[in-house]
Amino acid sequence: VQVALFVFIIEMLTTFPKCREGLTLENAGDYQLGLNFLPKDEAKAKEMKLKELKNGRLAMIAFGGAITQAALTGNGFPWLFAQRSTSGASLASGIRPAGKQFTARSSPAVAMRAEGSGYKMSKSVPFLPVSPALEGYVGEEDGFDPMGFSLAIDIRWLREAELKHGRVCMLATVGWIATDLGLRVPGEAFQVSTIQAHDAMVKFGSMTQMLCWIGYAELFGYLAIIKMMEGETDRVPGDFGLRWLYPKDEQGQYEMQMKELRNGRLAMLAFSGIATAGVLTGKPWPFFAMRPEKRCSAAPAVCSGTTL
């Protein structure tokens, strides 16, 4: 009540009289404070006011993020680790469907509490500690989670999504390059470029069938993920039981999983770059601009019609 009363008095003595006199862009925010720090030069004074305006906008966004991080992690700045352990479902335990409740892992890592007096520092981001939620997962030695997503969302859900996107992008990257190199499915409707492929398939009417088959596969995948998240199975994220060319020993399996994870991350970046370069240049892979050949009308010594 005291704070509200104090703020009300400040507003009545400052903003309210200004509104009665007429609020303009020139007097907005001007309370005649700090005039000694305002540059005398008009251009520099305008520049300082612009800095204040931009910093204020940034601070509004930053404070909103700070409140959100504090609520999700239960810790103070820099919100790297939550101080409270979670034994059931909560906003910080992961994404859950309606009516379902995910049980958090009993591991101290996912209880979001750093044991001991110090933190293990990340190799990929040396000035930040490793998120304890990464413990026990492939790639934990890299310790890459600078935004702390694994503390706000269940690590199993995040790894499932990462592997799925990585696998799709690996296939998409190979498919894009193969198509640009001339590989085509038989049929007149498929004789289009990679950039034109989506619109051409929509016009052809095959996208609905593709959506049905992909949705069918996603349904079974989603059921497997839900059972994993609820603790009904010992399934690990991304495991769909495919063991072709999969090593038998644990070390070989770990190395294979690490290769898939890193190649998938690289493919996500690669496909984004390929799609961007393809649209910007309008050229097929490898997107090099080709100068058209020119026939020589003079002697071969002065011919300049070579192709780059």
Instruction: Note the pLDDT tens digit of each residue in 118-156.
Output: 568 888 888 888 888 898 899 888 888 888 888 889 999
Please name which of 194, 113, 250 lies closest in space to residue 185, comparing C-alpha atoms. Answer: 194
> How many whole angstroms separate alpha carbon 74 and alpha carbon 302?
75
Q: Is residue 101 scored above 70 in pLDDT? A: no
The per-residue pLDDT for range 61-94, each reduced to its tens digit, is 988 888 887 887 777 776 665 444 444 433 333 3
Does this model's pTM top 0.85? My answer is no
Burial environment of residue 150 by CB neighbours within 10 A (0 to 12, 13 to 18, 19 or more):
buried
Instruction: List C-alpha distances in Å: 175 to 5, 106, 232.
Output: 66, 42, 37
